[in-house]
């Protein structure tokens, strides 16, 4: 068995690197670490992820697919973050305060410019 120790990064497919880099850095507050012709490397807290120029996976219903990527926010930042996204034209299509399952806490779901389903999550009281 391979003894993995954590996640180094994950990648999201996007069609327009500049548009997506702006969305993730200016709206979600992530730091751009490096850009290449096909990728933008971002830092989110202590973690990393990559925007990769490619054709995004398409689902029958973007809002209903279980495939998504969640980002932590502090409890005091959750409501202001939801309002900020709305004020900047991002449709928040589901908000809940989950108290069962694996990841407890407030969650808000939205799409990035390419239809990747995203979540901001306040892990207060998380059941993990």
- Where in the chain are the domains? 1-54, 62-128
Q: Higher pLDDT residue, 83 or 4?
A: 83
How confident is the model over 66-118, as pLDDT tens digits? 889 999 999 999 999 999 999 999 999 999 998 888 888 999 999 999 999 99
Tokens of 79: 């409501």
CA 67/CA 117 separation, integer angstroms: 7
Tokens of 44: 């989110």
pLDDT at 67: 85
The third-level CATH classification (topology) of the domain covering 1-54 is 2,3-Dihydroxybiphenyl 1,2-Dioxygenase; domain 1 (3.10.180)
Mean pLDDT over all residues of the chain?
Answer: 90
Q: Where are the alpha helices (DSSP H) in 40-113?
A: 78-87
The third-level CATH classification (topology) of the domain covering 62-128 is 2,3-Dihydroxybiphenyl 1,2-Dioxygenase; domain 1 (3.10.180)
Q: Do domains 1-54 and 62-128 have the same CATH topology?
A: yes
What's the whole-model pTM score?
Answer: 0.88
pLDDT at 86: 97
């Amino acid at each position: 068995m391979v003894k993995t120790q954590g996640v180094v990064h994950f990648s999201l497919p996007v069609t327009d690197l500049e548009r997506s880099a702006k969305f993730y850095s200016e709206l979600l507050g992530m730091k751009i670490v490096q850009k290449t012709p096909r990728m933008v490397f971002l830092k989110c807290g202590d973690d990393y992820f990559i925007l990769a120029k490619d054709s995004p996976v398409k689902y029958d219903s973007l809002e209903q697919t279980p495939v998504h990527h969640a980002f932590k926010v502090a409890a005091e930042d959750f409501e202001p973050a939801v309002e900020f996204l709305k004020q900047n034209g991002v449709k928040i299509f589901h908000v809940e305060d989950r108290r069962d399952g694996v990841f407890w806490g407030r969650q808000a779901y939205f799409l990035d410019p390419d239809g990747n389903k995203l979540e901001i999550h306040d892990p207060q009281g998380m059941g993990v």
